[in-house]
A and B are shown apart, each in its own frame.
Chain A
Amino acid sequence: MKNNLKILTNGIIGENPTFVLLLGMCPTLGTTSSALNGMAMGLATTFVLICSNMTISSMKNLIPDQVRIPAYIVLIAAFVTVVQMLMEAFIPALYAGLGLFIPLIVVNCIVLGRAEAYAAKNKVIPSMFDGIGIGLGFTLALTLLGACRELLGTGKMFSLTVYPENFGSLIFVLAPGAFIVLGFLIAIINKIKS
């Protein structure tokens, strides 16, 4: 159990996919116009990560080594389709907001990267915890970025008003703000680490 906890925190802090490994930049920038959108995207990716890690780890002896990458991609695409259909049916507003980025979880390098680097070499339970850890690390990073952009842009956080909207500058919600806020967040984390 202690070991599993270590895997979990490693995913959230030590190997945080966004701030440390710098993977999966497209959804990180594209879906974080508000804290809620960022969190939803993170949770959708977490679900795919946990499922794909568990399946790949349990099937690792059945998949021939030469065709492992296409096999992994098909498995991941199947889970992404599941998420896509569930979101479309139960939370259509959020699905419309995230749009193209839900099917694009397939080509998110975090998912395939964890399958190749962790799930293909380890047992099912540790792989599950690795999926949860990396997924939560990704979700936290996206929520933080979304919250910063929402706060700077509209004066709100999770749709609750913090300061009057007139004082916010809309540029942070638009495309350039995504790049600039993420750049400064990574710089701040580099500063704290050194």
Chain B
Amino acid sequence: MEYIIIFIAAVFVNNIVLAQFLGICPFLGVSKKVETAVGMSAAVAFVMTISTLTTYLMQKLVLDPLGLGFMQTISFILIIAALVQMVEIILKKVSPALYQALGVFLPLITTNCTILGVAIMVIQKDYTLLSSIVFAISSAVGFGLALIIFSGIREQLSLTRTPKAMQGIPIALITAGILAMAFMGFNGIV
């Protein structure tokens, strides 16, 4: 039950993009086509789960016992950067098909603030290891949901006539605002 609540809260109520403003750059950058949005979401889900597991263990097994809490930001970003690089190399060797699908998005993920954000959030919320992993997966699902819905809307939006000053980013931001308003309807279900 606890895990279901974490899942619903992270996907709908506190959606990582539309309520917490993390990962806006890929949200605006790779949402022009539904296919790329799906690829990006899959890559984020993959890396987020592995990196949250690794940073959680780092915090509990190394930083906490040694009293090195102040090294959190530095060590987490290094772990994430190294991990993304490693995932890229391993995927290339083990599963060329998956690498073909996710390859382009992997280097972009290091500077995606959802990854570092979720890694820090699970420490702040004092989750157990299993809850952390559930939270990471649900956050990635929430990111994917927002990104895929938004890219569907943007594909339609590119066919409409918008005022010149509003073209591109401004109209995309206002659409995202209306989408965020729709997601506010989920408030209070958990």
Which residues of A line the B interface, CB within 8 A?
Answer: 22, 25-26, 29-30, 70, 73-74, 77-78, 80-81, 84-85, 100, 103-104, 106-109, 112, 171, 174-180, 182-184, 186-188, 190-191, 194
A-B contact pairs, 20 of them (CB 8 A): A26-B21, A29-B21, A30-B21, A30-B22, A73-B77, A74-B74, A78-B74, A80-B73, A103-B72, A106-B73, A108-B113, A175-B180, A179-B176, A180-B177, A183-B171, A186-B169, A187-B166, A188-B165, A190-B170, A191-B165
Q: Which of A100, A112, A176 contacts B177 (CB 8 A)?
A: A176
CA distance A80 to B73 in the complex (A): 8
CA distance A108 to B73 in the complex (A): 13
B164 at the interface (CB under 8 A from A): yes
CA distance A184 to B163 in the complex (A): 12
Tell me the minimal C-beta distance from A40 to chain B in angstroms.
16
Q: Known: A74-B78, A78-B74. Contact between A107 and B177, CB under 8 A? A: no
**A29 cross-chain contacts in B, Cβ below 8 A:** 21, 24
**B134 cross-chain contacts in A, Cβ below 8 A:** none
Tell me the minimal C-beta distance from B27 to chain A in angstroms.
8
Which residues of B line the A interface, CB within 8 A?
Answer: 18-25, 28, 70-74, 77-78, 81, 110-113, 116-117, 120-121, 124, 163-166, 169-174, 176-178, 180-181, 184
Q: Which of B20, B70, B111, B177 contacts A30 (CB 8 A)?
A: B20
Q: Which of B71, B116, B166, B180 contacts A176 (CB 8 A)?
A: B180
Q: Which of A74, A103, A183, A187 contacts B116 (CB 8 A)?
A: A103
CA distance A184 to B170 in the complex (A): 6
CA distance A184 to B166 in the complex (A): 8
**B74 cross-chain contacts in A, Cβ below 8 A:** 74, 77-78, 81
CA distance A179 to B113 in the complex (A): 18
CA distance A81 to B108 in the complex (A): 23
On whether the beta carbons of A175 and B173 are closer than 8 Å, the reply is: no
Query: What is the chain B residue whose CB lies nearest that of A29?
Result: B21
On whether the beta carbons of B174 and A180 are closer than 8 Å, the reply is: yes
On whether the beta carbons of A175 and B116 are closer than 8 Å, the reply is: no
Q: Which of B18, B164, B171 contacts A194 (CB 8 A)?
A: B164
On whether the beta carbons of B78 and A70 are closer than 8 Å, the reply is: yes
On whether the beta carbons of A176 and B21 are closer than 8 Å, the reply is: no
Query: What is the chain A residue whose CB lies nearest that of B25?
Result: A25
On whether the beta carbons of A81 and B176 are closer than 8 Å, the reply is: no
On whether the beta carbons of B121 and A100 are closer than 8 Å, the reply is: yes
**B181 cross-chain contacts in A, Cβ below 8 A:** 171, 176
**B73 cross-chain contacts in A, Cβ below 8 A:** 77, 80-81, 84, 103, 106
